[in-house]
Amino acid sequence: MASYNTSEFRAGLKIILDGDPYTIVENEFVKPGKGQAFNRTRVRNLKTGRVIEKTFKSGDSVEAADVVDTDMQYLYTDGEMWHFMVPDTFEQYAADAAAVGDNAKWLKEQDMCVVTLWNGVPLDIAPPNHVTLKVVETDPGLRGDTSSGGSKPAKLETGAVVKVPLFVNEGEVIKVDTRTGEYISRVKE
């Protein structure tokens, strides 16, 4: 089984602790001049997102987590699972609600996503930073008002609700930043 020695520790390294996959967020080597050395770390649980403090005796080894990020195309959801495909190989993977989480609201069929696989099973998914989605529901726009100013909620085709400028109308397509959930611009189809 692959493992990492504490001397290989760095931010971003994926390891297994108590059966769960973690990523190292911070690593600091501490050692009293004449004493035992330790690696003091902060690690994020890749299943729960929770960050905890963990200290290792320097020189110890920790099991490596088989965690890889893979670009995949989002295909569809059957209501229970979200299905993705690796374009080159046509290999398909099904992610459950725990893996997809809140990001379900940004998933549009055909879009390319990053799927984090742990032992070949989707653990987490990241939608594209920018998605273009159709507005399916919003209050009528104010004719002629194309300046910035007020905003209003708009429901998008994937179910996400974002704040948009008053001039955006139903049926229009907009670009949204999925990291912040903020409207960027209208898109001409």
Smallest CA-to-CA distance from 17 within 67, 91, 86, 85 is with 67
Residue 34 CB, nearest distance to other proteins (Å)? 6
- Whichever of 47 and 108 has its CB closer to other proteins, that residue is 47
Is residue 50 close enough to count as binding other proteins by CB under 8 A?
no
Between 51 and 81, CB nearer to other proteins? 51
The single residue among 40, 50, 175, 179 that binds other proteins, judged by CB under 8 A, is 40
Contact residue for other proteins among 1, 2, 12, 32 (CB under 8 A) = 32
- The window from 56-64, 66-74, 86-94, 110-118 that contacts other proteins (CB under 8 A) reads 56-64
- Tell me the C-alpha to C-alpha distance, in Å, between residue 111 and each of 51, 75, 85: 30, 8, 11
Q: In angstroms, how far is the first alpha carbon of the chain from the final one?
A: 51
Q: Which amino acid is at 166?
A: L
By CB under 8 A, residue 38 contacts other proteins: yes
State the greatest distance between any 2 C-alpha atoms of the chain, in Å, as a whole number. 76
Cβ atoms < 10 Å from Cβ of 81: 16
Residue 36 in contact with other proteins, rule: CB under 8 A: yes
Asked if residue 166 lies in contact with residue 149, where contact means CB atoms within 8 angstroms, the answer is yes
Place of tokens 């190989």: 89
- Exactly one of 23, 44, 45, 58 binds other proteins (CB under 8 A); that residue is 58
Taking CB under 8 A as the criterion, the residue among 3, 55, 146, 185 binding other proteins is 55
Residue among 53 and 80 whose Cβ is closer to other proteins? 53
Q: Is 105 helix (H, G, I), strand (E, B) or coil?
A: helix
Q: Write out the residues near other proteins by the rule CB under 8 A.
A: 7, 28-38, 40, 52-59
